[in-house]
Amino acid sequence: MEVKVRFPPSPTGNLHVGSVRTALFNFLFARKNKGKLILRIEDTDKEREVKESYQAIYDSLKWLGLDWDEGPILQSDRLGIYKKCEKILLDRKIAYKQDGATYLKTNKTGQTKWIDLIGKKEVVFENGTIEDFVIYKSNGFPVYHFANVVDDHLMGITHVLRGEDIMSSTPKQLMLYTAFGWQLPEFGHFPVILATDRSKLSKRHGAVGILDFKKEGYLKEALLNYLALLGWTPPSGKEILSLEEMTAEFDLSQVNVSPAVFDITKLQWMNGEYIRRMLDQELTNKLQEFLVDHPSKDKIGPVVPLIKERIKKLSDFVPLTDFLFEKPEYDQEVFLKVISEKSKLKSMIKGILEDMEKMEKPWEAKVFEETFRKLAEELGLSVTAMFQLIRVAVSGQLVTPPLFESIKILGEEETVKRVKEALSFVA
């Protein structure tokens, strides 16, 4: 029997962390078992539909490299099929019409149960707690449970793998399978994803649309790697895995039953790890692709080795390096964080300027360091404060790539020019 799974998002907004984790686990399961993944868009709830969501779903999955084998299939194109299936149940007197809607008669005795693939645990629902439920709404559209079951059966889905948050719908779907006399697929429900404070994941915790992670400068490889570890422990114990390695190791028996915790700080760490493992040229190419509107993206190559160990996202590149490509805007408060006594600022920057103008060109790192260590001593300033003051005079900011290497990229003339501008600013 060929393994067939599906990822069935609703077009009601952007794909978020939980949905993509579900898509990833389905993808890994299908690839591991040489099966197929179907992309099905469950768009029968037209009141909640957001038109832009369709393309956002496709773009998100394509960016991440989660390719599907069949689809996208739109449920809204299959209304005739659902109508025929509704008629089958009505003809069998298993369903009935009331107030324009169609209801399934439920068995009020006994239990509905299944062995869930996640944790291999038996899940039991008392049938007496499940009232007759709507399968077709009065507006002519099937409800989620009904269309879902019809499609899963007709598309040959062998494993229904989804989030634990919709497990409450599973008994109704099992009742529908029984009503039709269809063979049941296997069911597995992944644990929910919580915020670090154990509350429901929301935007304030970083639960934004997946394409927003792309805009923020996260690498798809790092994002997939992190999402895979939300509820799954690879047998190898490795923390950094490629999509191919995840596929080779993935096993539903290794998926945890406990809720997973989404930690944006951990994701940033992992993204930084991926950045540091890249070759300089590879990172340069990634940055040039990411920095669409950067005025000097063809000149960023020499800067990349300086920032590779310092950035966690591609978007960190601009605030860290923009002074290398355009004149800085000075802020007196930044200077005062280095030298709190405003009256001494001017004389200190003037001393820096004079020493820079005296130094033989091209400046050498050793001479540069010795010169300003000596000046720091003469001015009664710590060495750290001296080089921080030079940093601010040159860049306008407290954090930059390594100072001397940055100065070499700027060039001696431009550096001297900036120190002059800083002197006139604090005057």
Would you name the residues annotated as active-site residues?
Answer: 203
Report which DSSP code applies to 41. Answer: E
Please count the residues of the chain.
Answer: 427
Choose among 14, 25, 11, 7: nearest CA to 260. 25
* Residues 113/146, Cβ–Cβ less than 8 Å: no
Q: Which two tokens stand for residue 192?
A: 């929910």
Give the C-alpha separation, 18 to 162, whole Å.
10
Omega before 362 cis (within 30°)? yes
* Residues 71/103, Cβ–Cβ less than 8 Å: no
Choose among 277, 331, 281: nearest CA to 304. 281
Give the C-alpha separation, 214 to 216, whole Å.
5
Give the C-alpha separation, 164 to 315, whole Å.
34
Choose among 304, 294, 287: nearest CA to 219. 287
* Residues 58/25, Cβ–Cβ less than 8 Å: no
H or E element, residue 55:
helix 53-64
**Angle subtended at Cα 227 by Cα 226 and Cα 232, rounded to the nearest 5 degrees:** 95
Q: Which two tokens stand for residue 291?
A: 């920095």
Q: Whose structure tokens read 């996260």?
A: 218
Give the C-alpha separation, 238 to 27, whole Å.
20
H or E element, residue 39:
strand 36-41
* Residues 269/367, Cβ–Cβ less than 8 Å: no
- DSSP state letters, 374-412: HHHHHHT--HHHHHHHHHHHHHSSS--S-HHHHHHHH-H
Query: What is the amino acid identity at position 9?
Result: P
